[in-house]
Amino acid sequence: MVLKAFFPTCCASADSGLLVGRWVPEQNSAVILAVVHFPFIPIQVKKLLAQVQKASQVQVAVLGTWCHRQQEPEENMGHFLEGLGAIFSHDPWLQLCRERGTRFWSCKATYHQMSTNLGTPTEDQVMLIFYDQRKLLLSWLHPPAVLPGCQDGETTASTGGLADIFDTVARSEVLFQNDQFDEGPVRLSHWQSDGMEASILVELAKRASGPVCLLLASLLSLLSAASASWLWKLWPLSFIRSKLSTCEQLWHRLKHLSLIFSTEKAQNPMQLMRKANMLVSVLLDVALGLLLLSWLHSNNRIGQLANALVPVADRVAEELQHLLQWLMGAPAGLKMNRALDQVLGRFFLYHIHLWISYIHLMSPFIEHILWHVGLSACLGLTVALSILSDIIALLTFHIYCFYVYGARLYCLKIYGLSSLWRLFRGKKWNVLRQRVDSCSYDLDQLFIGTLLFTILIFLLPTTALYYLVFTLLRLLVITVQGLIHLLVDLINSLPLYSLGLRLCRPYRLAAGVKFRVLEQEAGRPLRLLMQINPLPYSHVVHTYRLPSSGCHPKHSWGSLCRKLFFGELIYPWRQREDKQD
C-alpha cells in the first residue's frame, strides 16, 4: 500500500528538523503534527514526547526528518539527517525534502524492520496530503464516531480512517501549547507557533460566567420549585394550567433557562451546541418580544385594539345569528324537520345572546387587561403568541360549545342508528366477545326498535347539517390556533447558533473531507490538499434541532376523518377534559 503522509500546511515553510506525529499502521498513514527544529538534545525531545503522550493519550513519536534546503544542497546535512534515523528509531522512517523556490517535494520512506532478513532497507511510495491544522483541530466530524471505550481516553482501534485523523489532531492540543516565544528546551513549529490564539472577550466571559451562572441557577431553581409546588396541583389551578398554552410555553422556557445557566460544564460538543442554540433562541425571542412591545405601546395601539375588540366580537355573534336563522329556514334548498330545527336553532340563539351579554359586561375592563397582557411580551415573542392563541380560544368559546353540543347529538344519533340497524337485521353487539352476534328479539322489542329507527333516520339530516356547520367553524378556529402554534414551535426549535456557525465558520461542522490534486510533476510524489467538506444546512437543522414542547397533532388524516364521521370529539393538541356545560 502507498504510504500516506498528512502534512500540516503551516509547516511547509518551516526550517529543517525532525517530524513529530502519530503513525497509524492500519491505514499505513503518518499524521505529522509538528516539526522540531535544530538545535535540540535528543533526550529533551524524548522527554517532551513522553509528556505529551501521557497528557493526551496520543502515541506521538518521531516519524522522520524534514529538510528545507535554503541554499545549495549540503552534503553533510544529508548525512546528519540519516544519522538521526539511528537515534530515533521508527519504522518506517520518513524523509521529506523540499528545495527552496520549487513547489515539488521529494519523499522517501524506508522500512528497516521488515528488511532485516533481506539485508537492505526497502522503500515505499509516499503520497503527501496537506491539511490545515487549525481548521481540523476546531472541526467536529458528523456523525461523531461513538466508541465504547472513548470516554476513558484510551487509544482505540481506528473506526474509520478520517475520523481517526480528526481525533488525533484534536487530542494533541497539548502539543500545540508551546509557541516560539517560550523558553523551553525544544523549539517546535506548528499552527500556533506564532503565538497562542485567544480572544479577550471570550476569556472575560469565561471568568464571569462562573458566578453569574451560580446566581442565575439559584434564582431559577427557586422559580421552578415555586411552580412545581403542591398549590398548583389543586383544582381549579391545575385545570386552568392544563388548558392554557401560555403556561406550557413559560414552563418550557424555564426549563431551557435552567439548562443554559446550570453550573455543570458541557460534556461533549453536542451539549455545548445545544446550550448555545437555546441561549441564542431565548435572546432572539426576547428581542423580538421587546420590539413587539414597543410597537404595541406606541401610538396608543392598545386603546385602538381594545376599542376594536368589542365591535368585532359583536360582529362575529351577529354573523352566527344570521347563520342560525339561515339554518332554521331552508338552508341550500334542503328540507329540514321543522320542530327539531326550531328547538336547536332557538337553543343556540339563546346561547349567543348570553355570550354577547358577557362580552358587554367585560368591555370596560378590556383595555386594562390588554395593557397588562401586552407587558408580558417582554418575556418573549413566543409568550405573546401563546397569549394570543389563548385569547382566540377564549373569544371563540361559544363556537367550541356549539361544536360539542352538535357533535354529542350527532354521535348519539349515529350510535343509536347503528344499534337499531343491527336490531332490524336481527343481530346484536356482543360486548363480551366484541363482535356482532345474532339474537332473537321479542315482538314488542322489534316494534319499538323499528319505530325509534324510523324517527332517528328522518331526523338525521337536520342534526347532520348542524354538526357539519359547527364542525367547520371549529376546524377554522383550530387552523388559526395551529398556525400560531407552528410559529411558536419554529422559534422554539430552530438551531440558530448552529446555522450561524455553518454560515460564518463552515469548517467547524464537517460532514467529511474533500481532496484536490495539486500541481504534479512526473517522478515526484503525488500531492493532495485535504479540505473540510461542511455539513449541508438541512443536516445542520436536523441534527441540532431543539426538542419542541410537543404540540403536534396526535392523529393521522385517516383517523381524523373517521372521528369526524362518527361524531367523536377532536382534541387537537393535548388531551383536554370534556367540557360539560
Partner 1 sequence: MEDEKSFSDICGGRVVLRRRYYSPYCREFGLSSARLSLRSLTAVTCAVWLAAYGLFTLCENSMILSAAIFITIIGLLGYLHFVKIDQETLLIIDSLGIQMTSSYASGKESTTFIEMDKVKDVIINEAIYMKVIYYLCILLKDPGKPHEISQVVPVFQSAKPRLDCLIEVYRSCQEILAHQKATSASP
For binding to partner 1 (CB under 8 A), which residues are involved? 1-2, 4, 27-28, 127, 129, 160-162, 512-515, 517, 520, 526, 528, 533
Nearest-angstrom CA–CA distance, 96 and 108: 7
Q: How far is the CB of 12 from partner 1 (least distance, A)?
A: 20
- Phi and psi (nearest 5°) for 90? -150, 140
Q: How far is the CB of 65 from partner 1 (least distance, A)?
A: 24
Distances (CA, A) of 508 to 503, 505, 514, 531: 10, 6, 15, 12
**Closer residue to partner 1 in complex, CB, 326/537:** 537
**Closer residue to partner 1 in complex, CB, 1/234:** 1
Other residues' Cβ atoms within 10 Å of the Cβ of residue 357: 10
Yes or no: say if 2 and 124 are a contact pair by the CB < 8 Å rule: yes
**Closer residue to partner 1 in complex, CB, 112/563:** 112
**Closer residue to partner 1 in complex, CB, 10/129:** 129
Q: Which amino acid is at 292?
A: L
Report which DSSP code applies to 337.
P
Residue 404's Cβ-count burial label (10 Å; 0-12, 13-18, 19+) is: middle
Q: How far is the CB of 514 from partner 1 (least distance, A)?
A: 4
**Closer residue to partner 1 in complex, CB, 119/523:** 523
Nearest-angstrom CA–CA distance, 302 and 384: 14
**Closer residue to partner 1 in complex, CB, 352/535:** 535
Q: How far is the CB of 503 from partner 1 (least distance, A)?
A: 15
C-alpha cell read off for 420: 337499531
Yes or no: say if 525 and 127 are a contact pair by the CB < 8 Å rule: yes
Report which DSSP code applies to 92.
S
Q: Helices (DSSP H) in 494-536: which residue ranges? A: 496-504
Cβ-Cβ contacts under 8 Å for 175 (sequence gap 6 or more): 20, 33, 34, 52, 56, 60, 188, 190
**Closer residue to partner 1 in complex, CB, 127/279:** 127
**Listed residue (473, 481, 500, 337) closest to 406, CA to CA:** 473
Distances (CA, A) of 105 to 102, 131, 530, 561, 580: 8, 16, 17, 72, 85
Q: How far is the CB of 170 from partner 1 (least distance, A)?
A: 19
Do the strands 29-37 and 188-189 form a parallel or antiparallel pair, or are they unpaired?
antiparallel
Do the strands 61-69 and 93-99 form a parallel or antiparallel pair, or are they unpaired?
parallel
**Closer residue to partner 1 in complex, CB, 161/550:** 161
**Closer residue to partner 1 in complex, CB, 27/115:** 27
Distances (CA, A) of 294 to 309, 375, 381: 20, 10, 12
**Closer residue to partner 1 in complex, CB, 132/285:** 132
Q: How far is the CB of 3 from partner 1 (least distance, A)?
A: 9
Q: Helices (DSSP H) in 88-199: which residue ranges? A: 133-138, 161-171
**Closer residue to partner 1 in complex, CB, 2/375:** 2
Q: How far is the CB of 102 from partner 1 (least distance, A)?
A: 18
Q: How far is the CB of 522 from partner 1 (least distance, A)?
A: 9
**Closer residue to partner 1 in complex, CB, 117/267:** 117
Q: How far is the CB of 318 from partner 1 (least distance, A)?
A: 34
Q: How far is the CB of 250 from partner 1 (least distance, A)?
A: 40
Cis before 536 (ω within 30): no
C-alpha cell read off for 126: 509516499
Cα angle 331-332-336, degrees, rounded to a multiple of 5: 45
Q: How far is the CB of 520 from partner 1 (least distance, A)?
A: 5
C-alpha cell read off for 68: 528545507
User: In sequence order, what are the beta bridge partners of 22?
Assistant: 31
Report which DSSP code applies to 2.
P
Q: How far is the CB of 1 from partner 1 (least distance, A)?
A: 5
| Terminal Cα distance for the chain, rounded | 81
